[in-house]
Chains A and B, each alone.
Chain A
Amino acid sequence: GDSVTQMEGPVTLSEEACLTINCTYTATGYPSLFWYVQYPGEGLQLLLKATKADDKGSNKGFEATYRKETTSFHLEKGSVQVSDSAVYFCALKANDMRFGAGTRLTVKP
């Protein structure tokens, strides 16, 4: 069945460091791919999405490119801030939505 595998972490970075969180997927069809972010004590919020191969989703300085050839959707940010500290979930949607295990990011001043 469809599944998502992401780097589990936790990841700890200093402010202004570069971020990459790896995400790979397995799907039989042509899914859409999503990154969700969960801030402490809150529900998941959509961060960005891409709906077809080679699409790039971007929001709040974060980017991810839908790579069909490597079945990947890695999340990147060039300069993280303390306010980016959260748990990040990669997800795919074909028939239903499947989530990765989540990656906890802590950014220190």
Chain B
Amino acid sequence: NAGVTQTPKFRVLKTGQSMTLLCAQDMNHEYMYWYRQDPGMGLRLIHYSVGEGTTAKGEVPDGYNVSRLKKQNFLLGLESAAPSQTSVYFCASSYSKARVAEAFFGQGTRLTVV
């Protein structure tokens, strides 16, 4: 009964370092999303995927890259971390792009860039 699982849960990076956040879902969902959550700003969409092998940009894609090589996994990469990327990152999945389909969220990754 895992749902959406994110790893790691916490990470501290130095400016300029790189890292990859992993999201895995076991619900056979086609759609997967990466959001960042910042105080007073709610959740903002970074990138999303409508199926295996596809990715697309969201509201705030700069500084991030993503890959969806397998249907169940969606990776978010930071090539050269900046303090402005300090945030809580959430992965979500959905069975459909239809407006009635809700999103299921992971527990989040708290990233601090110093």
Residues of A within 8 A of B (CB): 4, 8, 29-32, 34, 36, 41-46, 49, 51, 89, 93-97, 99-102
Contact = CB atoms under 8 A, between A and B. Distances in A.
B105 interface: yes
B40 A96 contact: no
Given A32-B99, A94-B99, A96-B58, A43 B4 contact: yes
B99 A101 contact: no
Given A43-B105, A94-B99, A97-B45, 17 more contacts: A8-B40, A30-B99, A32-B100, A41-B107, A43-B4, A44-B92, A44-B103, A45-B105, A46-B102, A89-B43, A93-B101, A95-B97, A96-B45, A99-B35, A99-B44, A100-B42, A101-B42
A79 B104 CA distance: 27
Interface in B3-25: 4
Interface string B41-59: 1111100100000000010
A43 B90 contact: yes
Interface residues of B, number: 24
B40, B92, B103, B104 interface centre (most CB from chain A within 10 Å): B103
A102 B43 CA distance: 9
A64 to B, nearest CB: 14
Nearest to B41: A101
A36 B104 CA distance: 10
Contact of A97 (B40, B103, B106, B107): B103
B102 A34 contact: yes
Given A96-B48, A96-B58, A102-B42, A43 B99 contact: no
A31 B99 contact: yes
A45 B106 CA distance: 9
A29, A31, A41, A96 interface centre (most CB from chain B within 10 Å): A96
A68 to B, nearest CB: 14
B100, B102, B108 interface centre (most CB from chain A within 10 Å): B102
Nearest to A96: B45
Contacts of A99: 35, 42-44
